[in-house]
Structure 1
Amino acid sequence: MRKPRTRTLLLTLLGTAILGAVLHAAWPFLFYPRQTLSFSFPAQPITAEGTVAKAGIAERDITPPIGMPKFGYSAWARDADGFRTRLKARAFYLSGPGQTPLAIVQLDLGSGSLVLRHRVAELVMERTDVPAHALTLLVTHSHSGPGQYLGSDFYNVFGSNKPGFDPALFEFLSQRIADAVIDAYESRREARFAVGQSDLFGVTRNRSMAAWANNFPDQDQSTADPMQAVNPTMTLLRIDQRQGDHFEPAGALSLYSIHGTAIPPFTRPYHADVWHWISEELERQFAGNHSRFIHGVAQATHADNNPAWQEDLRGDLEAERIGKALGSHAIRLFHSLEPRLSPTLTTAIASRQLDLLDDIEGGRFELCERAIAGASVAGAANGDEVFPVSYLPFLAENWPRRFFTDNCQGVKQWMLSKLQLLLPAERFPHQALFQIVRINQLVLVPLPWEITLESGNRIRQAVAATLPEGPDWQVEISSLANGYFGYAVTPEEYALQYYEGGHTLYGPHTLDFLIQQSVRLSRDLQQQGNIDQIPRQQTFSLLSRQYFPEMLTAPGPRRWVNAPTHYQGNATTGPYWSLELSAEAANRMALDHPLLAIHCHDHVITDDSAELQLLHLRDTEKETGRYEVRWYPGTQPPSRPCRFAVDTGERQPLFSAPVP
């Protein structure tokens, strides 16, 4: 008699869990208010004046306040409690004589966003000569940055650990990013340019080998190496600016294929992940220049390429090790380009926005009529499994549908089965911006999908085939640019329904569609010149909830609570010095301005580096916050004496007792 009762209890618990999950998912869609965003892009045909090519580069801090939900690990993420490294926007303005000026921005964010791109474009048009269609936002895909700024309800609700579009965060990011572009425009100077590529193996591994190997059924995969099934190519644009009667290195924009997941789920601080150290290594090479050297690094085709962290050591030190290896590679590539520097700048851009819910000129190539999320999305990607969810039937990898596969989504196991159809197609991402950007022999293909290794190879080859003979074309794909549509895998990868295939929202022929649209846009660019096919008037309606603090204040009374103490840390963080800080409450503290420093007798370490960390501990009833400040000294022993310093809003910072 016990077995029926046990079975009944288990079924009741399972039913309750499913009902709870459905109600949790549905709650925002039933009760959250909507925020309407409207954009207007008047026709603005602009060609650059003058007879020389110019470039400008600028940077802005985009670290949000404490307490924001974070994007990338979905429910496994945690609200931010401070920062380990700051988040940045790095803007590159390019202007060739008689050509349309371009602006490319690299962002330490988890994803692009079409509404964010459009808002920044509006702001930039008011103060620069960059037309709306000539702005591109590239991202790092760090999983330790904020969410709630995306252009679809689906990802604003399910992409972070809390749901809703945050209008205040959205405007904060928009203004800071636009300021970076405007500064780059205003700092433009005569410049020289060089583009190059170089391979680096050993820092990434393929996380879904069986799915990748399914692309090559005739090959023996028994000895296939995950460290080789990666995109090892770093692409770098070097820019030198005129300084008086000579030119000096001013900046670089590079792309590499590596997931921003060296920092694992459940960690709280904001973190730029490996990208911080990739940027920093090259920037330190030119610390003494007249103007600050800026290195922006963004994603290429990373979707199944994870950082090659050492087992059980995933965290800060592994992110640093991998990032510095890539940073050193960027240094070598940058210097190798010096003989190729040229005053010639040839640019072109084609932008075409498509609504995937409409009939599409040129054909859909069997793209599904609406998006459906696969059950394997809940199971998470290899390396990020959470017991027991990632190992359950249907949620686990390689659990394709065996029956009833004659619908557009084919072998995909649907999350929550047909209940997912209750979510209107308009709530999923459906407005996609396709672009082709030419900078001399570099052809950049920004796409709002996460592109797997083999998918990127196929897109790259197809676009390269459209280019005329002549230059040594270097074609690179940039994932997650200007928006987010989940993944794009090959049909062969889709057949196994690993995480990447389950997260390919528009079905097994998504890649076919991306190839054809990219090829079509590339051909149109060559035949017609610059293409601006972004609707002049647009409106978005998004479920909203504000997490961004109502009012950030100037620095309040701040004081050090104790003397610095040394801790050994652990295998993922390393040793550090720590002390407590009393300051304004967390919801009053702005993190996008300089805050902390270490003053030694011969140098100063700022919180722009990864050596300083801020962690919120608690707030008191008197609107005062308590924080832990950590200093992770670099490999060289610090010179003595050294003191912690915190900005007070006055001329002089407040110093701590000396570090022993």
Structure 2
Amino acid sequence: MTAKRPPSRSRRTVLKAGAVTGLGLAGAHLAAPGAAAAAAGDGGYLVGRGISDATGEVAEVGMMGYGRFDQQAAGLHTRLRARAFVVVEEASGRRVLLIVADSPMIFESVHRAVLRRLKQAYGDLYTEQNVLITATHTHAGPGGYSHHLLYNTTTFGFHKATFEAVADGLFEAARNAHEDLAPSELLLSHGTLTGASVNRSRTAFDRNPKADRDHFPDAVDPLTTLLRVERDGRTVGAVNWFPVHGTSMSGDNRLISADNKGYAAYHWEREVHGVDYLADGSPVFVSAFAQTNSGDMSPNLDLVPPTTPADFESTRAGGLRQYEAAAAQAEGPGARLAGPVDSRLVYIDLSDVTVRPEFTGDGRTHRTSKPCVGAAMAAGSLEDGPAFPGFDEGENPFWDAISNSLIYTVSPELKQAQAPKDVFVPIGEMNRIYPWVQERVPVMLMRIGALYLIGVPGEVTVCAGLRLRRTVAGIVGAPLDDVLVAGYSNAYFHYVTTPEEYDAQQYEGGSTLFGRWQLPALQQTAAELAVSLRDGTSLPLGPEPPDLTGKALALQPGVVLDAPPLFRKFGDVLVRPRETYRPGERVEVVFAGAHPGNDLHRGDTYLRIERRDSGGAWHTVADDGDWTTRFHWARDGVAASKITITWDVPQGTPSGTYRVVYHGDAKSLGGKVSPITGVSTAFQVR
């Protein structure tokens, strides 16, 4: 049937199912912050919180993270959201904006687009100097939103719809946070969380000096940090930092998912506080679970790549561990923050940095080089998800021979900077023809009272992060725990390893593009930012990257035509639900639908689970943003689509009459897109 769907911002009734908290806090330990807030100024803060939907395409788009051409999205499990926090120091008026996105990466394309939108809305209030955008690094999000070709290969080019959805979602979260500004208190606390991560590159980690290894006796970074927002003695927001990869969902999964950190945020907001993502107005609670130095931290504790469908439960379990540690901190003591809000950002050409002896560790001057992809990078992380067959982490004799006989013969300087890497692709040379990877990259330092965030556009290992943190902490005089690396921020250039880890040429070292001295170059830049922030001086912006807007290649055609199956109409129910279900069982309904790429339903939903009240009216109890629902798309023939919607009936679901509603959009041969709706027969939950 064809029908107009309900307004996208309509309120819904929250299903009062019991919140799941069965994992316990056996691996979490709470501790007071290393120091009270800095004494410089005792004024208060204005803080704003915001959420928005930043989900891109959910069908026939390559998924980002595992680098697999066969991982094409075919539906939706959880929506990808952006969460933003604005902090204004009342005494000085200085402000910063932190955006945490359920995205695989933040590319320069998105960074630039969000800044452009902010400038149009607020002038110079938010610029590259005070905006930090960081990704949770889910490996189950849509790709195709970079302006650099390497990251668009598995998506067959640029996908404008996904790019616009991500950029608009991030901006809207920031706008909502700006409009939510109100007097607030900020409290900072630290704890330890074990049993939630494992070092997937122990061979490389063990090459580090004893002083680094002793800091992480279990080869993991267990530090969990919570910045919570309080108003009138009530916690209304929180940002948690903990390093663990977004690889709980496997490379065989085909449903868009926010992975473990997305579930942690969803659980705290939706299942604990009852936040309605489709409702108007400010939510009662906003929580973000951000990354730090997670480059070698895996959530797969057995060091075996996850499999589908078992990965759904492991994703939930990993998210619950992070939530429970953060929630325990929120109930415990915290240091009330006061003092300056400030930030600095510079661009550096990471392919051409002269690194001074005090940062290289061997007392000599060294240089970075043009970026190169190592053979070990092509292997992928064997513990989280292999990439291309025929490659290994560590030694690759075939590619070693090619590197030495061909690539390094042409450029001995490249060999000196990249050794012992077996070069698979000299991608810096390819940049001369077309932009494959970013070379001019942003590095940022942000201060919120006693908390310092080092914004790095890469995947930083725990020991590399430790060195960056020590560099900044020593200059600004802060306790080490109060200085964090904010990885995956403002752009993306792959991994950051220590020089010792680089020598092992595991996956992370093969993915450290700019050579052995990349981390020391970043330490040198972080030191300059720290001195500037400490002394209140300014820094030149540095070499900005070129604006590639409108230049990205788009090779995959869009939807041409939707047609229902033969002798069927759009919205027809092809597989009906049973008459009766019990909590714990799965409802499944199949509809004659259309391609979900015609309308991304951002801020809306492709499905609703509805319950009938005593007066006969239907009320929504779940939608496509809920953990209990799944939305599957499959092509049926040439132009037809089958939509399968499932609902796992939660424990504690009230008895009553329910139904499944599908909302889609069909495209005619002339290009007109019209909404369609399907409604299942009613069924009982007992």
SS at match of 1:477: strand
Please tell me the residue identity of whatever aligns with 2:103: L
Q: Secondary structure at the match of 1:230?
A: coil
Structure-1 residue corresponding to 2:188? 195
Task: Flag the 1:419–1:608 CA change in 2: closer, same or farther, 3 A.
Answer: closer
Q: Given the superposition, is the C-alpha separation of residues 374 and 598 from structure 1 closer, same or farther in structure 2, using an over 3 Å criterion?
A: same
Decide which of 308, 313, 316 is 1:317's aligned counterpart.
313
Answer yes or no: is the 8 Å Cα contact 1:53–1:95 preserved in 2.
yes
**Distance in 2 separating the partners of 1:526 and 1:225:** 26
The answer to whether the Cα contact below 8 Å between 2:97 and 2:126 also exists between their aligned partners in 1 is yes
> Secondary structure at the residue paired with 1:482?
coil
Residue in structure 2 matched with residue 594 of structure 1 by the alignment: 605
Counterpart for residue 254 of structure 2:
268
Pick aligned residue for 2:506 from 495, 498, 504: 498
Q: What secondary structure sits across from 1:389 in the alignment?
A: coil
1:658 aligned onto 2:675: no
For the residues of structure 2 that align with 1:628 and 1:578, how far apart are their CA atoms? 7
Deviations 1:130-186 (A, max 9, x none): 2342111111111111222224333333xxx23433344323322221122112111
Counterpart amino acid of residue 535 in structure 2: Q
Q: How far did residue 492 of structure 1 move?
A: 1.1
C-alpha RMSD over aligned residues: 3.8
**Is 1:488 matched up with 2:480?**
no
Distance (whole Å) between structure 2 residues aligned to residue 291 and residue 211 of structure 1: 44
1:106 aligns with 2:104: no
Q: How many residues align?
A: 588
> 1:575 deviation in Å?
5.9
Q: Hey, what's the Cα distance between the residues in 1 that align with 2:440 and 2:684?
A: 54
The equivalences for 1:124-139 within 5 A come to 124-128=118-122, 129-139=125-135
What amino acid does structure 1 have at the position aligned with 2:525? Q
Task: Indicate if the aligned counterparts of 2:350 and 2:514 stay in contact, CA closer than 8 A.
Answer: no
Deviation of 1:115 after TM superposition, in Å, equals 2.4
Q: Which residue matches 2:592?
A: 582
Contact 1:352 1:531 in 2 (8 A): yes
Q: Deviations over 1:14-38 (max 9, x none)?
A: xxxxxxxxxxxxxxxxxxxxxxxxx
Tell me the equivalent position of 1:523.
531
List aligned pairs for 1:117-196, cutoff 5 A.
117-128=111-122, 129-157=125-153, 161-196=154-189
What is the aligned partner in structure 2 of residue 440 from structure 1? 449
- Structure 2 residue identity aligned to 1:463: V
Q: Could you give the per-residue CA deviations for residues 329-361 of structure 1, whole angstroms, max 9, x where no partner exists? A: 111112224x6456x463101011122345679
Q: Retained in 1: the 8 A contact 2:69–2:155?
A: no
Return the offset for 1:204: 0.7
Task: Give the 3 Å change call, closer, same or farther, for CA 225–247 of structure 1 in structure 2.
Answer: closer
Deviation at 1:550, TM superposition (A): 7.1
CA 1:357/1:380 → structure 2, altered by over 3 Å: closer, same or farther? closer
Within 2, Cα distance between the matches of 1:303 and 1:631?
Answer: 35
d(CA) in 1 for partners of 2:370 and 2:585?
51
User: Residues 175-574 of structure 1: matches in 2 within 5 Å?
Assistant: 175-216=168-209, 228-241=218-231, 246-283=232-269, 284-287=271-274, 291-309=283-301, 315-337=311-333, 340-341=335-336, 344=338, 346-357=340-351, 366-383=366-383, 384-385=385-386, 388-391=389-392, 394-395=395-396, 407-415=416-424, 421=429, 424=432, 427-468=436-477, 474-529=482-537, 533=541, 538-540=546-548, 542-545=551-554, 547=556, 549=558, 558-564=571-577
1:238 Cα deviation after fit: 0.6
Distance 1:393-1:181 versus aligned 2 partners, 3 A rule: closer
Name the residue aligned to 1:61: 53
Q: Deviations over 1:264-287 (max 9, x none)?
A: 113211111111221123224333
Q: Identity over aligned residues, as a percent?
A: 21
* Structure 2 SS opposite 1:240: strand
Distance 1:133 1:456 in 2: 22
1:515 Cα offset (Å): 1.1
Correspondent of 2:645 among 629, 634, 657: 629
Q: d(CA) in 1 for partners of 2:64 and 2:149?
A: 14
TM-score, normalised to structure 2, is 0.77
Q: Do the aligned partners of 2:156 and 2:555 also contact (CA within 8 Å) in 1?
A: no
Return 274-283 or 602-611, whichever deviates more.
602-611
Which residue matches 1:84? 77
- What letter matches 1:584 in structure 2? A
Shift of 1:295: 0.8
Which residue identity is paired with 2:520? D
- The alpha-carbon deviation at position 424 of structure 1 amounts to 3.1
Residue by residue over 1:84-113, the C-alpha shift from the partner in whole angstroms, topping out at 9 and shown as x without a partner, is 111111111111122322211111111111
> Matches of 2:524 and 2:678 in 1, distance apart?
57
**Take 2:66 and 2:257, find their aligned partners in 1: how far apart are those partners?**
13
In 2, the alpha carbon distance for the partners of 1:392 and 1:362 equals: 30
Instruction: Quickly say closer, same or farther: Cα 1:617–1:632, change in 2 above 3 A.
Output: same
- C-alpha distance after superposition, 1:536-565 (max 9, x if no partner): 895237541165847999xx9534433225
Kept after mapping to 2: 8 A contact 1:121/1:132: yes
5+ residue gaps, structure 2, are 1-42, 277-281, 563-568, 614-619, 666-674
> Is residue 143–residue 162 contact of structure 2 (8 Å, CA) maintained in 1?
no
Whole-Å separation in 2 of the counterparts to 1:76 and 1:612: 26
Q: State the shift of 1:579 in Å.
A: 1.1
The structural deviation recorded for 1:595 is: 2.8
CA distance in 2, matches of 1:489, 1:398: 21
How many angstroms does 1:522 deviate by?
0.9
Q: Is the 8 A contact 1:55 1:95 kept in 2?
A: yes
Normalising by structure 1, report the TM-score.
Answer: 0.80
Residue 648 to residue 485, structure 1, CA distance change in 2 (3 Å): closer
